[in-house]
């Protein structure tokens, strides 16, 4: 859904705002004016006062007019079909609510439809991960992700052909690894046990001989060595017990009580097809290599998490490049790696994506930008404005600001038809200048 026209009637005066389908910049409005205008735009969608009228186009191309006359009930009219459709948008309180078909409550919608400078909070783990992904070579990053997905699917296909699952391969490897560690601990303990028994026997005999020869120091040394040998045996025994417990835990995870039972249940049962087993192991190894390559490029980030935020990563990468370019041209490298700016870009793109599917319906809603770039430096700001220009239209954007940098950029962009600029201060000042 996008705004076409907002008409505000108050105290005998009428104000009309014609809004661009992609991006409208309302310039020269301070914080109080922005709060008031955003409240009117949000109220026009849901629960507005009398005298607040709105024309919109829904995502299906249907033009709707919302009329809220002072002395009559509010109505919604399908302009093209010349038919009243108020009942489809009737709220519980009897008013008109264009958000109702999407199942949105007014409080949630008003919070999500507004984006300002305060939405840029301190960097979170998600922001740091997106920055890391944005810093990677995009071709290598997404090629690695595609390879992981393809090998995951191949592994799943081979596993299902054997009546198994990819997780079974991991469990098999875990059981085998823990069994191997247990066997190694067993062999090490046996070696130390034999050595310590022999050493203890020698030390005991030496201690007896030293006592008989009245060599007390030699006797004490023999006893100390014997005790040390026993301590080493105890330590190796403890390590063996821990390895066995780990093996039993892994076996319990696959429903087996012993390593032999595990082989009977898994290898000779589920994986009895030797050719299929080899294919499964090859697929698992290929998948491991793909995951290793992904970690080399992206770090400790899951492929699924990155894919869900691919648009945010692309936006952050594009903004990073633009910031660097502008900083180089302005000879101001201090802002070339502004994490706050890339965080803002990520959050903005995330909010845009959310508004395309906000609520339970298929309708999108406009985003009202409350001067979100107010605290951004002049070097980084053009990159973010270009990001807005590229992403506007899906959904529609209304940018309210008193930032002259934004207004100057918007006036130039308006010449191309990509957006429109509304400057209330200039409109009011013009008649006064003409009178003089």
Which domain does 177 fall in, by range?
A: 169-271
Q: Note whether residue 397 is domain-resident.
A: yes
Residue whose pair of structure tokens reads 């301190």 in the numeric block: 122
Q: Note whether residue 260 is domain-resident.
A: yes
Report H helices in 136-165.
138-161
Q: What are phi and psi of 401, to 5 degrees?
A: -160, 160
Same domain, 179 and 117: no
Q: What is the pLDDT of residues 308-366, one digit of tens each?
A: 778 878 877 877 777 667 666 655 554 444 566 777 777 777 778 777 776 656 678 89
Mean residue pLDDT of the chain comes to: 76
Residue of 13, 4, 8 lying closest to 68 (CA atoms): 8
Q: What is the pLDDT of residues 297-317, one digit of tens each?
A: 888 788 887 887 788 788 778
Same domain, 100 and 26: yes
* Domain CATH number, residue 47: 3.40.50
Q: Note whether residue 305 is domain-resident.
A: no
Q: Note whether residue 213 is domain-resident.
A: yes
Q: Buried (b) or exposed (e) across 68-93, using 16+ Cβ within 10 A?
A: beeeeebebbeeeeeeeeeeebbeee
Q: What is the pLDDT of residues 65-90, one digit of tens each?
A: 999 888 888 899 999 888 999 888 88
Residue 175, pLDDT score: 65
User: pTM for the whole thing?
Assistant: 0.57
Residue of 134, 63, 129 lying closest to 98 (CA atoms): 63
Both tokens of 226, joined, read 């014997």
Q: What is the pLDDT of residues 34-61, one digit of tens each?
A: 988 898 898 888 877 788 899 999 888 8
Instruction: Choose one of 271, 300, 329: the last residue of a domain.
Output: 271
pLDDT tier at 126 (50, 70, 90 boundaries)?
low
Assess contact for 247 and 175: CB atoms under 8 A. Answer: yes
Beta strands in 393-436 (DSSP E): 397-400, 420-422
Is the pLDDT assigned to residue 183 strictly greater than 80? no
Same domain, 116 and 176: no
Same domain, 204 and 264: yes
Assess contact for 338 and 323: CB atoms under 8 A. Answer: yes
Residue 432, pLDDT score: 38
Instruction: Choose one of 249, 271, 293: the last residue of a domain.
Output: 271
Residue of 32, 58, 17, 79 lying closest to 366 (CA atoms): 58
Is the pLDDT assigned to residue 10 strictly greater than 60? yes
H helix and E strand count, the chain: 14, 11
Residues 114-131 have a mean pLDDT of 66
Same domain, 34 and 102: yes
Same domain, 28 and 105: yes
Same domain, 64 and 175: no
User: Into how many domains does the chain fold?
Assistant: 2
Residue 7, pLDDT score: 92
Which burial class, exposed, middle or buried, applies to 228 when counting CB atoms under 10 A from its CB (0-12, 13-18, 19+)? middle
Q: Buried (b) or exposed (e) across 152-162, using 16+ Cβ within 10 A?
A: bebbbebbeeb
Residue with the bigger pLDDT between 172 and 374: it is: 374
Residue whose pair of structure tokens reads 């191949």 in the numeric block: 154
Residue 431, pLDDT score: 37
Same domain, 99 and 173: no
Same domain, 109 and 29: yes
Residue 287, pLDDT score: 83
Both tokens of 265, joined, read 């249940």
Q: Note whether residue 324 is domain-resident.
A: no
Residue 262, pLDDT score: 55
Is the pLDDT assigned to residue 264 strictly greater than 70? no
Instruction: Choose one of 227, 244, 271: the last residue of a domain.
Output: 271
Is the pLDDT assigned to residue 247 strictly greater than 80? no
Residue 428, pLDDT score: 40
Both tokens of 387, joined, read 């990001």
Is the pLDDT assigned to residue 404 strictly greater than 50? yes
% pLDDT > 70, the chain: 71
End-to-end CA, the chain: 43
Q: Note whether residue 216 is domain-resident.
A: yes
Q: What is the pLDDT of residues 101-118, one digit of tens each?
A: 777 777 777 788 888 877
Tell me how many degrees the CA angle 8-10-16 measures, rounded to the nearest 5.
25
Q: Note whether residue 53 is domain-resident.
A: yes
φ/ψ region of 357 (left if φ > 0, alpha if ψ in -120 to 50, else beta) reads alpha
Q: Note whether residue 316 is domain-resident.
A: no
Which burial class, exposed, middle or buried, applies to 165 when counting CB atoms under 10 A from its CB (0-12, 13-18, 19+)? middle
Same domain, 115 and 43: yes
Is the pLDDT assigned to residue 158 strictly greater than 70? yes
Same domain, 176 and 119: no
User: Beta partners for 323?
Assistant: none
Residue with the bigger pLDDT between 18 and 156: it is: 18
Q: What is the pLDDT of residues 198-236, one digit of tens each?
A: 766 676 666 666 656 666 666 666 666 667 767 777 777
pLDDT tier at 19 (50, 70, 90 boundaries)?
very high
Same domain, 118 and 173: no
Cα(421)–Cα(427) distance, rounded to whole angstroms? 12
């Amino acid at each position: 859904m996008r705004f076409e026209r907002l008409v505000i009637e108050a105290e005998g005066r009428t104000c009309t705002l014609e809004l661009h389908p992609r991006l409208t910049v309302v310039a020269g409005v301070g914080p109080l004016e922005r709060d008031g205008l955003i409240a009117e735009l949000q109220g026009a969608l849901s629960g507005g006062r009398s005298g607040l009228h709105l024309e919109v186009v829904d995502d299906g191309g249907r033009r709707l007019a919302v009329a809220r006359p002072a002395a009559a009930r509010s109505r919604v009219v399908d302009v093209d079909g010349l038919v009243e459709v108020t009942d489809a948008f009737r709220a519980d309180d009897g008013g008109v609510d264009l958000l109702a078909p999407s199942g949105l409550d007014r409080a949630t919608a008003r919070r999500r439809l507004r984006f300002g400078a305060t939405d840029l909070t301190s960097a979170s783990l998600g922001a740091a991960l997106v920055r890391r992904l944005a810093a990677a070579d995009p071709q290598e990053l997404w090629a690695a992700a595609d390879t992981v997905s393809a090998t995951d699917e191949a592994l799943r296909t081979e596993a299902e052909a054997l009546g198994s699952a990819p997780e079974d391969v991991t469990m098999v490897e875990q059981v085998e690894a823990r069994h191997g560690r247990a066997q190694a601990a067993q062999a090490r303990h046996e070696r130390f046990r034999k050595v310590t028994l022999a050493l203890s026997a020698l030390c005991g005999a030496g201690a007896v001989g030293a006592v008989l020869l009245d060599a007390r120091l030699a006797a004490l040394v023999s006893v100390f060595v014997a005790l040390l040998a026993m301590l080493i045996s105890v330590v190796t025994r403890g390590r063996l017990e821990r390895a066995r417990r780990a093996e039993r835990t892994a076996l319990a995870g696959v429903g087996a009580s012993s390593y032999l039972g595990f082989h009977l249940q898994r290898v000779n049962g589920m994986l009895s097809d030797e050719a299929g087993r080899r294919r499964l192991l090859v697929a698992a190894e290929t998948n491991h290599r793909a995951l290793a390559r992904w970690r080399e490029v992206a770090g400790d980030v899951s492929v699924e998490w990155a894919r869900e935020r691919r648009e945010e990563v692309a936006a952050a990468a594009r903004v990073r490049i633009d910031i660097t370019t502008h900083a180089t041209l302005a000879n101001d490298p201090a802002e070339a790696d502004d994490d706050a700016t890339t965080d803002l870009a990520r959050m903005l793109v995330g909010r845009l994506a959310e508004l395309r599917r906000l609520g339970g319906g298929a309708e999108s809603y406009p985003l009202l930008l409350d001067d979100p770039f107010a605290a951004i430096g002049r070097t980084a700001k053009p990159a973010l404005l270009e990001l807005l220009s590229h992403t506007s239209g899906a959904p529609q954007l209304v940018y309210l600001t008193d930032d002259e940098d934004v207004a100057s950029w918007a006036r130039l962009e308006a010449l191309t038809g990509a957006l429109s600029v509304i400057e209330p201060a200039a409109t009011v000042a013009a008649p006064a200048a003409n009178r003089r």
